[in-house]
Amino acid sequence: MATASAAAAVLAVIPATADAPAAAPAVAAAPVATAPAAPVVDTRVAQVAVTAPLAAAPAAASSARASAVSLALSKVGSPYRWGASGPSAFDCSGLVNWAFERAGIDVPRTSRALSQTGTPVSRGDLRPGDLVFFYSPVSHVGIYIGDGQMVHASTSGKPVAIASIDRSSYNSARRI
C-alpha cells in the first residue's frame, strides 16, 4: 500500500526515543543488486496517564446546577429589590448570582453579561439549572427548573416566584 509505505518512510527518519543518538548513515561495502530491505518501523505507542474520569467535569457541573436550582427555590417569596443580590432580597441577576455562587460556580452579575456566559442551549434542550433570558436586548434572567418553568425575581412589588418561561418575551438560554 502506498500509504503504509509512505508512513513507514516518514517513521524511519524519526528517532525511536528522544534521547537516542542519531544513527550514522550506513555505508555499503559493495553495490547489491537485490531489492532494498524494508525500513524498520517502531510501533511502540506512548501511554498517556489519565488523572480523572472524563465524565467528572460534566457531572460536577450538573450537580452544581441542581444545587443552584435548589438554592434559588429556597428564596421563593423573598422580596424583589433592584440591585440586590441576597440573602434577603434580590433582583433577577442577583438571584442567579447568589444561587450559582453558593453552588460553587462564579458567574457575572448582570443579566446581559450572563447572556454571554456558558454555552447556548436551544429552547427544546433546556435542562434544570440552565439560564433563560428575556427581551431584546437581554434585560431579564431566570433559572430554568423544568416543565417550562423558571424561578426568578421579576419586578418591584413582586417576590421571587416560579413562572412559565412563556410569560414574556423569551430571548435565549445558556448552560453554565
Catalytic residue among 92, 103, 151, 160: 92
Answer yes or no: 92 catalytic.
yes
How would you label 11-37 residue by residue, b for 16+ Cβ within 10 Å and e otherwise?
Answer: eeeeeeeeeeeeeeeeeeeeeeeeeee
Number of other residues whose CB lies within 10 A of the CB of residue 112: 14
Q: Would you say 96 and 64 are in contact if contact means Cβ atoms under 8 Å apart?
A: no
Strand, helix or coil at 171? strand
Catalytic residue among 75, 152, 174, 175: 152
Which backbone phi and psi does 97 adopt, to 5 degrees? -60, -50
Answer yes or no: 140 catalytic.
yes
Catalytic residue among 65, 140, 174, 175: 140
> Strand 119-120 vs strand 131-134: parallel, antiparallel, or unpaired?
unpaired
Cell of 18: 528522544
Which residue numbers are catalytic? 92, 140, 152
